[in-house]
Copies of this chain bind each other. A is one copy, B any other.
């Protein structure tokens, strides 16, 4: 993690601890420099990152202000920090762990027809299923995977174990009716609504390494998105 990213996290923590609300003003750049003992350019980079992430906005000539933060129980659709950061007591049940090629449209999202690790998982919060996940990880890029890793955070393993940088993702989403099989896992009825998301993740060199299909339980999942503040 770079210095400005650490400072951005500290400013975010400060916003949370001080319980700042929509429109509250952040300390000045000079005050932030003193507070975190870093130079002006680090503070400016941290502020830029926070505007990109929709956490603050700049008003020319007036300063930097806080944006509304996600309401309780809402998951970010666009930040890829994972569920663990927003959910209480999430658990993961590995339903299948095997090796196979990805079917369409996953193989198209991956730009590859090679052998993958296939991992089917059910995520629960407080015992309630909120998402059924079918993931394909390219074996040429993620050379080792195990059921034990899949029971925890696969992304933490890729970042910390394999020292690879996960950089961006594409999502394709639609609403549809649940199949009987999906409904069984999600503890709903066949034909009940769901959000289906195809999510593809890329490394820092632009290589797609994982593509997943996620099927969300409509009763147990809500989402938010704070657009980037576009001024740069």
- Which residues of A come within 8 Å of B, CB atoms? 4, 22-23, 45, 48-49, 52-54, 57, 59-60, 62, 65, 67-68, 71, 74, 77-80, 111, 167-177, 192-195, 202, 204-206, 216, 218, 221-232
User: Among B48, B53, B174, which residue has its beta carbon within 8 angstroms of that of A221?
Assistant: B174
A67 to B170, alpha carbons, bound, how many Å?
Answer: 9
Ranked nearest first, the 4 interchain pairs of A and B with the lowest CB-CB distance are A193-B193, A175-B218, A173-B223, A174-B222
Is the beta-carbon distance between A52 and B173 smaller than 8 angstroms? no
Among residues of B, the one whose C-beta sits closest to the C-beta of A21 is: B111
Across-interface contacts of A223 in B (CB, < 8 A): 171-174
Across-interface contacts of A231 in B (CB, < 8 A): 167, 204
Across-interface contacts of A193 in B (CB, < 8 A): 175-177, 192-194, 218
A85 to B80, alpha carbons, bound, how many Å?
Answer: 27
Report the minimal beta-carbon distance from A69 to chain B, rounded to whole angstroms. Answer: 9
Report the minimal beta-carbon distance from A4 to chain B, rounded to whole angstroms. Answer: 8
Is the beta-carbon distance between A52 and B206 smaller than 8 angstroms? no
User: Among B48, B62, B176, B224, which residue has its beta carbon within 8 angstroms of that of A172?
Assistant: B224
Q: What are 8 sample pairs from A and B whose C-beta atoms fall under 8 A apart?
A: A57-B168, A59-B204, A77-B173, A167-B231, A168-B226, A169-B227, A172-B223, A193-B218
Given contacts A22-B111, A175-B195, A222-B172, contact A227 B80 (CB under 8 A): yes
Among residues of B, the one whose C-beta sits closest to the C-beta of A177 is: B193
User: Among B67, B170, B173, which residue has its beta carbon within 8 angstroms of that of A168?
Assistant: B67
Report the minimal beta-carbon distance from A101 to chain B, rounded to whole angstroms. Answer: 20
Given contacts A226-B168, A230-B168, contact A206 B23 (CB under 8 A): yes
Report the minimal beta-carbon distance from A133 to chain B, rounded to whole angstroms. Answer: 16
Is the beta-carbon distance between A171 and B232 smaller than 8 angstroms? no
Kindly name the residue among A4, A177, A228 whose own CB sees the greatest number of chain B CB atoms within 10 A: A228
Additional A-B contact list (16), CB under 8 Å, known A172-B223, A172-B224: A22-B111, A22-B206, A48-B232, A49-B232, A57-B168, A59-B206, A62-B205, A67-B170, A74-B172, A167-B229, A167-B230, A168-B229, A173-B222, A174-B221, A175-B175, A228-B228
